[in-house]
Amino acid sequence: MHQCLIPVYFGGIKIKALLDTGSTISAINEKTFFKTKFANNRLLRSDIKQIVGAGGATYPVKGQIKLNFEINGVVLSQKFYIIPALRHSMILGTDFCKEKSVCLNWNTNKLSLIKNSVTINVIRVTPGFARVYRKSLIPPNTMMNVCVRLSHALPQRNYLLEPLKNLKYNFLTAKCLIRNRNNKCYLQILNPTNEVITLRSGLILATMNDVDTGNIFTLDNDKTVKSMNLEQTNSDQKDIQFDLSKADLTDQQKQKLNLFLNQNRNVFATNLKELGKTDVYKHKINTGNAPPVKSRPYRTSPAAKQEIQKQVEELLKYDIIEPSKSEYSSPIVLVKKKDNTWRLCIDFRSLNKQSILQQHPLPRLDDVFDAIGQSNAKIYSRLDLTMAYYQMPMDEHSKHKTAFITHDNLYQFKRMPYGLNNACQSFQSLMTQVLRGLTWKHCLVYVDDVIIWSEDFDSHLQHLDLIFQRLKQANLKLRPNKCDFAKSEILYLGHIISKEGIKVDTSKTKAVETFPIPNNQHDVRSFLGLCNYYRKFVKSYAKIASPLNRLLTKDTPFKWTTDCQNAFETLKEALTSTPVLNFPNFNKPFIVSCDASGSAIGYILSQIGDDEKEHVIGYGGRALTPTEKNYTVTEQEMLALVSAVAYFHVYLATNKFTIYTDHKALTWLQTIKHTNSRLIRWALKLQEYNFDVIHRLGSRNQHCDALSRRNYEKQTDQPKVLTEVTFIYPGETLEKISNSEKDIPIFSLEDISSLQKQCPYFGPIITFLENGILPDDKKRAQAIPYETGQYELLNDTLYHFFQPRTKTRTSKNQLIKQVAIPEPLRNDILLSFHDQKAGGSHLGVQRTYEAIKQRYFWPKMYQNVLRLCHQLSNLSNCEKRQYC
């Protein structure tokens, strides 16, 4: 803590003014003021009643006055407060620094102001030191008080002792406030090592600095100036136990690294209270000329309202959100996490539809690997930011677009919320700006993931220090439990980087490499479905696969031979190496293909290469848990989709991609509003990604079908990516039905209501119910008055009442209420219900029809079901014959 003194000519006398960036105001000692020629000037009444010094004592302010003074021959004007107890003759605070554009160069000890028009030499007061009084031994893993002597014979008052930042010694020294008595005091020293540390006599442990109890810091609403209690701030921070067990270092190096990390404790945050807020970059939402998005709040239970209110108050407390009067509003939902706590989620899907996509170019992966390889790197660290998005402020002109509505109020985000589809791109831009000049030399950044590499341990500490200083300057904080330090290899963008070179993460090819040996024709057909998709990359594919194709010949007994095994291994190797496998290009869109069976899910990430062919980036898949096996087909298919996106997140976070699925109901994924809790929870999980969902026939999705039908190790627990949340309070749902063999189509009542009015069949019925107007068509005009007894408009949605056949008379309360389905939605419902699996096969005509009519109605529904089942049955037979 160096004091910076500036020679000043003031009112006929020469004094030294303290440049104090910790003070919000400029002040003059009362005695100094009355020694000058300004002594007879009348003081104005002060707008500040009193000040609170660093020691906590309060001091009165006599008055305020605007005076001229000289610095290096230049006359300046400044408002000063006259304070009797001020220890320095004059303090120049941040008000002076801002107004005069002060810039201090620590290397040259020169200060410039008024846009460099005035340059002066600054007097830096050399601090005193605290040295070990006599030789001391500190046992391993022990904290003890060590006697130190101060440098000079100093007055008996308070001093701040600050430990030297010296990595040479493997111990920690506490910062403390002491009162000088006989030039001796005690310092707390911690030995975190397993060896005895010897402190020789005269060893410097800390610098010694005056504590100016009259220093002025910030103002409160009562016009009282208060100081920030630095010791209290530090004591509020929890100690962090850094896990260095996986660091490839010697014990001595681990101790040194641990010491370094603890000395940089303020670059880490473990909770919202410690979270940083940068001013380097602000997130903007560009919606063009689109009208504001305005949604009603979802219906919630009383318990949910209490939890929402609790979390809103916490976000208000830590300056994440603020009350709003915006014309925008997005609904809010509660999501239950694995630890039974709740997470507040905002449904930004409507806003995301209007947002214009940002582009931020990312480096080619081969360029990344070249840069790391040329540096001869042997040691790596990876940094992860705490609640990264909450550390970036929202642009003032975009905040109102993030408004969300609760049961009693409207709020908007002051910091970037989760769920916005351009959030990743904005944070990538921020980190690129923060680390500019260091990237490619010592580090690379991907959103909130920073990788650092070095040739040896000492240079690695220097590089870490450079990164930490940049993060401190930007006021960004790291998440300690997610950071990896000083490892010999590290996972980055799906590849393992080490001193031996670059290799593909085996987890991305494990689904194919561990493909089990087929036990029957069905298994062989499934495996060949995967191989056939990429056969164009495999030289002499037909010849290699011929032993396996012979097993599919009709009436041929299944016998697995050595030739079959060789073909099987050769094809697996081809699928997990170039040219089938390729490096990802982050400047091109990706393709996600996924599928689900009753026992497993499978997914593939691919990309169109420079040769205009689809190359694989990675494979994935797993068995379903016992709980997941009870999901409906739509839920299992969406589980495959969400798992694929989570598995390949590192590639998809900032890139546009297309999802291909053979389950057509998933094409409604980005518009669902009122459906079951699991589907809407997964839909919200995907809202910040930028993607399209495209349906393709199952016959063109056989590569994923193979991965979803192979045997995997049994899953006993829910996979981590999907156990994070388990329940949601949704809004009004479609009519509840039994869960057995009944899927839930994923479109909303709003979608249905809009299409009902446009439907040639149901539109005239709605018009008649609302206005009594009949259509021009005579046949329909005669029929509608008789039919309307079976219909009712509820909340702007048309329902049909169906009376099941029973021996007893049925009251209206016992009628089955069916949603009237307009023509554009009928095929989706047919496919959704037909795809339900019972014992591994699709439902038949009657069971499909019975399931649908429990919820939906449209004319000639049975004929539609019959035609669909026959079409799909014929298609299935054709697909089987193509392998024969």
Whether the per-residue pLDDT at 329 is higher than 90: the answer is yes
pLDDT, tens digit (0-9, with 9 covering 90-100), for 39-97: 888 888 888 877 766 545 567 888 899 999 988 888 888 999 998 877 788 998 888 88
Range 112-126 average pLDDT: 62
In a domain, 250, yes or no: no
In this structure, of 2-11, 267-276, 283-292, the range with the lowest mean pLDDT score is 2-11
The answer to whether 575 touches 534, Cβ cutoff 8 Å, is yes
pLDDT, tens digit (0-9, with 9 covering 90-100), for 407-424: 889 999 999 998 898 888
Q: Residue 92: beta bridge partners?
A: 19
CB atoms under 10 Å from CB of 387, counted, come to 17
Residues 473, 419 share a domain: yes
The CATH number of residue 827's host domain is 1.10.340.70
Residue 714: name the closest of 830, 623, 635 by CA: 623
Range 797-820 average pLDDT: 72
Range 7-26 average pLDDT: 85
- Residue 186 pLDDT grade (very low, low, confident, very high; cuts 50, 70, 90): confident
End position of a domain, from candidates 470, 504, 538:
504
The answer to whether 231 touches 178, Cβ cutoff 8 Å, is no
Whether the per-residue pLDDT at 539 is higher than 50: the answer is yes
Helix (H) or strand (E) holding 436, with range, is none
Residue 580: name the closest of 611, 614, 546, 548 by CA: 614
Residues 143, 120 share a domain: no
Range 394-411 average pLDDT: 93
End position of a domain, from candidates 96, 125, 154:
125
In a domain, 259, yes or no: no
Whether the per-residue pLDDT at 246 is higher than 80: the answer is yes
The answer to whether 362 touches 434, Cβ cutoff 8 Å, is no
Residues 151, 89 share a domain: no
In a domain, 258, yes or no: no
Residues 52, 140 share a domain: no
In a domain, 573, yes or no: yes
Residues 646, 537 share a domain: yes
For the chain, what is the domain count? 5
Q: Residue 454: beta bridge partners?
A: 379
In a domain, 274, yes or no: no
Residues 137, 203 share a domain: yes
Whether the per-residue pLDDT at 602 is higher than 90: the answer is yes
* Spatial distance between the Cα atoms of 360 and 425, rounded to a whole number of angstroms: 6
The CATH number of residue 202's host domain is 2.70.40.10
Return the higher-pLDDT residue of 154 and 809. Answer: 154
Range 552-558 average pLDDT: 86
Whether the per-residue pLDDT at 743 is higher than 50: the answer is no
Residues 769, 622 share a domain: no
Q: Is 259 exposed, middle or buried (0-12, 13-18, 19+ CB in 10 A)?
A: buried
* Spatial distance between the Cα atoms of 858 and 305, rounded to a whole number of angstroms: 38
Range 488-513 average pLDDT: 82
Asked whether the CA dihedral 442, 444, 449, 451 is positive or negative, the reply is: negative
- Residue 292 pLDDT grade (very low, low, confident, very high; cuts 50, 70, 90): very high
In this structure, of 1-5, 10-14, 189-193, 590-594, the range with the lowest mean pLDDT score is 1-5
pLDDT at 197: 84
Whether the per-residue pLDDT at 682 is higher than 90: the answer is no
The CATH number of residue 26's host domain is 2.40.70.10
Which amino acid type is present at position 494?
Answer: G
Angle (CA) 221 223 225, round 5°: 105
How far from chain centre, in Å, is Cα 151? 50
Angle (CA) 716 721 725, round 5°: 90
Q: In what side-by-side order are the strands of the sheet with 321-323?
A: 321-323, 410-413, 404-405
Residues 771, 860 share a domain: yes
End position of a domain, from candidates 125, 142, 175:
125
The answer to whether 480 touches 385, Cβ cutoff 8 Å, is no
Range 847-871 average pLDDT: 85
Range 535-553 average pLDDT: 90
In this structure, of 111-115, 199-203, 378-382, 417-421, the range with the lowest mean pLDDT score is 111-115
The CATH number of residue 596's host domain is 3.30.420.10
* Spatial distance between the Cα atoms of 761 and 244, rounded to a whole number of angstroms: 69
Provide the strand spans (E) within 391-537: 404-405, 410-413, 443-446, 449-454, 484-487, 489-492, 495-498, 501-504
In a domain, 224, yes or no: no
Residues 726, 588 share a domain: yes
Residues 206, 94 share a domain: no
Give the domain extent around 803. 749-881
Tokens for 704, please give them.
């994923």
Residues 863, 780 share a domain: yes
Q: Name the percent of the chain lying above pLDDT 70.
A: 80
Residues 464, 365 share a domain: yes
In a domain, 615, yes or no: yes
* Spatial distance between the Cα atoms of 552 and 521, rounded to a whole number of angstroms: 6
In a domain, 283, yes or no: no
* Spatial distance between the Cα atoms of 619 and 511, rounded to a whole number of angstroms: 6
Whether the per-residue pLDDT at 181 is higher than 90: the answer is no
CB atoms under 10 Å from CB of 179, counted, come to 10
Highest average pLDDT, of 99-108, 491-500, 670-679, 789-798, comes from 789-798
* Spatial distance between the Cα atoms of 677 and 694, rounded to a whole number of angstroms: 23
Strand 332-337 and strand 791-794: the pairing is unpaired
The CATH number of residue 440's host domain is 3.30.70.270
Whether the per-residue pLDDT at 804 is higher than 90: the answer is no
pLDDT at 742: 38
Helix (H) or strand (E) holding 240, with range, is none
Range 532-542 average pLDDT: 89
- Residue 325 pLDDT grade (very low, low, confident, very high; cuts 50, 70, 90): very high
Place of tokens 């005695």: 31
Tokens for 122, please give them.
């600054």
Place of tokens 């089942």: 869
Average pLDDT over all residues of the chain: 80
pLDDT, tens digit (0-9, with 9 covering 90-100), for 360-373: 666 666 677 777 77
Cβ density class 712-746: b for 16+ within 10 Å, e for less: beebeeebeebebbeebbbbeebeeeeeebbbbbb
